[in-house]
Amino acid sequence: MIANIKKYSWVLVPTIAFGGLFYPLLGLAMIGIMLGIILIGLFNGKYWCGNLCPHGSLFDVLISKFSISRKIPAFFKSSFLKWGFFIFFMGMFSRRLMNVMATWGSEEFLDNLGLMFTMQYLIMPTILGVSLAILISPRTWCSFCPMGAMGQIMGKLGNVLGINRTFEQRITINQPTECRECGLCANNCPLELEPYTNFDQENRFDDDRCIKCAECVEACPINILELKKRDEVTKDTVRRV
């Protein structure tokens, strides 16, 4: 089922981004998307980004065919851009939401709210995201996407509260001594992360930027990577200190 969502969820992008211009209530679907990012993030980090995100599906399934596919510049992967853009986005979103809330109780309220979400969805992840995907790399936008940053924040919160210990999945290496450090996992990571360089003492990839798409799992030539929950890791795979 997840595979089908990854393959076809991109249809929501034109439906919301362009359909919402004519039928603003379509933009209200963004409320569900944002709640999904927050709730899934709390229990499983950025899983939404790699498996359920409509724009992620669009970038991977369609836009990747037209992308120049260059290395993502360091600036787009920097914490400065990601968190700076997150603050900018949330400030702009809050200001627009307050303007819409001023029409609360009127017949136009839901249309105004839907149109606000539609414009947010159209301008940033769609127009900007697709442009970056074509001119640089398919998942360039995902490196600093404010909704991805929200998922990352919720993942950290889940760790602090201890509520995601049972549910969170991470890339896990089941035979660490067999790793050839060939770098194919890094070469195939859409965010250009490097799993083979950063496994913790439980043999789990220790990077909360990971979108859990499992592209590195598919790329591993000796099949020693898996996307697992903590309690699925058998005792004989735990690295001895």
CATH architecture group of domain 169-237: 2-Layer Sandwich (3.30)
pLDDT values of the chain reduced to their tens digit, one per residue, 241 residues: 888 999 999 999 999 999 999 999 999 999 999 999 999 999 999 999 999 999 999 999 999 999 999 999 999 999 999 999 999 999 999 999 999 999 999 999 999 999 999 999 999 999 999 999 999 999 999 999 999 999 999 999 999 999 998 899 999 999 999 999 999 999 999 999 999 999 998 899 999 999 999 999 999 999 999 999 987 765 444 443 3
Say what the pTM is.
Answer: 0.91
Nearest one of 75, 53, 72 to 147, comparing CA atoms: 53
Strands 169-173 and 225-229: antiparallel
Over the stretch 162-200, which tens digit does the pLDDT of each residue have? 999 889 999 999 999 999 999 999 999 999 999 999 999
Using a 10 angstrom Cβ sphere, with 0-12 exposed, 13-18 middle and 19 or more buried, the burial of residue 169 is: buried
Q: Report the Cα 117 to chain-centroid distance in Å.
A: 19
- The sign one gets for the Cα dihedral 155, 157, 158, 160 is positive
Where exactly are the structural domains of the chain?
Answer: 2-153, 169-237
